[in-house]
Amino acid sequence: MHINLSYTNQVSDYISDYILRYNYDKIVCLTDENTEVCYEQIPYLRDNDDILKISIPSGESNKTLETVEQITEILIEENFSRQSLLINLGGGVISDLGGFIASIFKRGIPYINIPTSIMGIIDASIGGKTGVNFKHQKNQIGSFHLPNDILISTIFLRSLPQVELINGWAEAIKYAYLNQNLKYLPIDLKLDTSEVNIEIIQNCAEFKREIVNRDYNESGLRKILNFGHTIGHAIESYSQEINQPIGHGYAIAIGLLVEMQISISVNGCSENDLSQTLKQLISKYYYPLPFDLPNVVNLEKYLNADKKNSDGKIKMVLCNREFQFDYDCIVSSLEIENALQNEVWLK
Ligand SMILES: NC(=O)c1ccc[n+]([C@@H]2O[C@H](COP(=O)([O-])OP(=O)(O)OC[C@H]3O[C@@H](n4cnc5c(N)ncnc54)[C@H](O)[C@@H]3O)[C@@H](O)[C@H]2O)c1
């Protein structure tokens, strides 16, 4: 598997060179209402009347089949074909949604990701997982469809609100633990966008590329990237259900903490400086949630629908006594409930 990651701040020149190299009959760029400002930063797109821009309302609640249908309708009306290119310009919602459309439209068209959020840059745009939510359940419908290119640039981060920076750093925290390299742990998450640590960004993106290159279909190793995501996705879905949506990263941060607690109680992982640092960082920046931490009954339907499960068992990634990560660990509802209720991990 080869994943193209291109780092440049000369985005407009890069895209125009890229497009000249291929014989696309039409080009569409997908943005959301907030990332339209990024479109304006790319003269090649902004000044080219032949490029169709489709902008959707922002937010996770739009990562749905309804939006897929609306966009597909436009592409058909505008005579897009298999020789057409889709450019996803936005955060993880845009790359998940647009990537999914690219994977099914006319049975698959080429696309490139230009991520504009930290979450998109270090995680969502890389690896070819695409999809939409279904009835508040995260990513229940989707596909593996690799982008032809991923363009990593920090120029778009200038307009990213700080709350979204912190949101994205949750995945960087996860990588630092998986990689066992706290050198790349973002510590001061309140830094503003002009101070974003490029070294951390590149390290995260390269770590994800490396894992996906080794196990694209997620038959083994790639599963470790789901650390924090069983609980995190369930909390994120629950927040949508109760109409108090929280960012993906905020949910994942709590997921990391709860799954670390489960690792300590059932998988031989010991409390040490590493787990303490995780607790401090997450309780400082991501806690409390805008609603009470749900109990296992509130989360059950989401936990049971998690894509990592099989044989009717909830499976998650847990840290072990060597501080390495095991995947496919079977965890009971009671063990999850104990961790959720054990607020000692927040102190
Ligand atoms: N496919 C994968 O491997 C993968 C991995 C991680 C996350 N995800 C998915 O990604 C999504 C979360 O990504 P996200 O946090 O980027 O969400 P998002 O796309 O909703 O972006 C967050 C917010 O920031 C705004 N925004 C983005 N870039 C901006 C910019 N440069 N300037 C101003 N505003 C900007 C967006 O409009 C949105 O309001 C979730 O749906 C999650 O499931 C997918």
* pLDDT one-digit tens code per residue, 30-82: 999 999 999 999 999 999 999 999 999 999 999 999 999 999 999 999 999 99
Cβ–ligand 1 distance for 143 under 6 Å, the answer no
Residue from 5, 119, 137 to probe ligand 1 pocket by mutation (most atoms less than 8 Å from CB): 119
**What pLDDT score does 206 carry?**
96
Helix (H, G, I), strand (E, B) or coil at 318: strand
- The predicted-structure confidence for 224-249, as pLDDT tens digits, reads as follows 999 999 999 999 999 999 999 999 99
Nearest CA to ligand 1 atom 3: 124
Question: Do 269 and 321 meet the contact criterion of CB atoms below 8 Å apart?
Answer: yes
E-assigned strands of the chain? 5-7, 27-32, 51-56, 85-90, 111-115, 129-134, 137-144, 149-152, 315-319, 325-330
Distance 93 CA to ligand 1 centre (A): 5
Arithmetic mean of pLDDT, 128-152: 96
Question: Do 116 and 30 meet the contact criterion of CB atoms below 8 Å apart?
Answer: no
- The predicted-structure confidence for 22-33, as pLDDT tens digits, reads as follows 999 999 999 999
Distance 91 CA to ligand 1 centre (A): 3
Cβ neighbours for 246, distance < 8 A, ≥ 6 positions apart: 235, 236, 239, 289, 290
Cβ neighbours for 311, distance < 8 A, ≥ 6 positions apart: none
**What pLDDT score does 343 carry?**
64
The Cα 45–Cα 48 span in angstroms is: 5
Q: Phi, psi (5° rounding) for residue 90?
A: 170, -165
Cβ–ligand 1 distance for 59 under 6 Å, the answer yes
Residue type at 300? E
**What pLDDT score does 1 carry?**
77
The Cα 140–Cα 265 span in angstroms is: 30
Dmax over Cα atoms in the chain, in whole Å?
60
Q: Is the pLDDT of residue 273 over 90?
A: no
